[in-house]
Structure 1
Amino acid sequence: MSQTVVLGVIGSDAHVVGITILEQAFSAAGFDVINLGVQTSQEEFAEAAVAHDAEAVLVSSLYGHAEQDCQGFHDVLDAEGVDALTYIGGNLAVGQDDFEQTRETFEDLGFDRVFNSETDPEEAIAALRQDLQITTTEAERATISS
């Protein structure tokens, strides 16, 4: 049975390339991906996570205003009864010089994992598999690495 992830670009951000790459990578890795597209509201993430019984909510943002877009995000998820891992990645802050500070900011906002814009999708997939305690068979590992 495949694990379901909800993916989208939060707030007013209209950058679609990153989530398209993530959708393809997570789908190829065996996840059932619900791609909400760009300019997704917090409520749309929560509604999709509930509707699809998602194990993870993956938030993307590239325009540098993710902190303001994500204020109260986990309150919205909690209000809808969403019990899922939350990841965020991209260019999360304007002038992002110290990514460790940015990581702390988003962890303080409640995200389980925070990735910068240079993160390879395989790293995020490996992290999600680890967090969901999904083990891969040798055949799957060979497929993933090829």
Structure 2
Amino acid sequence: MVLHTMSQTVVLGVIGSDAHVVGITILEQAFSAAGFDVVNLGVQTSQQEFAEAAVDHDADAVLVSSLYGHAEQDCQGFHHVLEEAGVDAVTYIGGNLAVGQDDFEQTRKTFRELGFDRVFDSETDSEDAIEALRQDLQITPTESERATISS
């Protein structure tokens, strides 16, 4: 018996005026290699573009990257925009989220209050984000491993 599992779709982009492309390129490769369908919106992505892509691709997760330190301004009202568009997805943000950030716990609290499910700093390994997403989407690698072994 072969088990078919639908792959999970992830929308990924750099929000606001940020033009840092290296981080999302690494994330795109890592999430693709981990079996996710990745929609990479690239840099300087608006909140509306994230929402439209999430709807168009029926995304399971929206991953926001920001490295230039102005994510808090860029993300004001983001979850309202997603909600208005009817998006029901896990939301993550990661990167260098605040200029002169010295207390990441405070930064994490700020972004949790903005509505993000998980908040990562710029030192986070992509494998940690993948593992977190598997937990949040309740993807158990053991099932797919078993399916691979039995097929």
Q: What TM-score results when the alignment is normalised by the length of structure 1?
A: 0.94
| Secondary structure of the corresponding residue to residue 141 of structure 2 | coil
In structure 1, C-alpha distance between the alignment counterparts of 2:87 and 2:94, rounded to whole Å? 20
Residue 113 in structure 1 maps to residue 136 in structure 2: no
Matches within 5 A, 1:56-135: 56-135=61-140
In structure 1, C-alpha distance between the alignment counterparts of 2:116 and 2:141, rounded to whole Å? 25
In structure 1, the residue matched to 2:11 is: 6
| Secondary structure of the corresponding residue to residue 72 of structure 2 | helix
In structure 2, the residue matched to 1:42 is: 47
The one-letter amino acid of 2:7's match is S
Alpha-carbon shift at residue 76 of structure 1 (Å):
0.2
Equivalent pairs counted in the alignment come to: 140
Where do 4+ consecutive residues of structure 1 move more than 2 Å? 137-140
Structure 2 residues without counterparts, runs of 5 or longer: 1-5, 146-151
| Secondary structure of the corresponding residue to residue 57 of structure 1 | strand
In structure 2, the residue matched to 1:143 is: none
Structure 1 residues without counterparts, runs of 5 or longer: 141-146
The one-letter amino acid of 2:41's match is L
Q: Deviations over 1:63-88 (max 9, x none)?
A: 00000000000000000000000000
1:24 to 22, 29, 42: 29
Alpha-carbon shift at residue 138 of structure 1 (Å):
8.0
In structure 1, C-alpha distance between the alignment counterparts of 2:38 and 2:142, rounded to whole Å? 21
In structure 2, C-alpha distance between the alignment counterparts of 1:107 and 1:71, rounded to whole Å? 12
Q: Among the aligned pairs, what percent are the same residue?
A: 87
In structure 2, C-alpha distance between the alignment counterparts of 1:93 and 1:51, rounded to whole Å? 30
In structure 1, C-alpha distance between the alignment counterparts of 2:35 and 2:144, rounded to whole Å? 13
Alpha-carbon shift at residue 139 of structure 1 (Å):
7.7
| Secondary structure of the corresponding residue to residue 43 of structure 2 | coil
Greater C-alpha radius of gyration? 2
The one-letter amino acid of 1:38's match is V
| Secondary structure of the corresponding residue to residue 88 of structure 1 | strand
The one-letter amino acid of 1:16's match is V
CA RMSD of aligned residues (A): 1.0
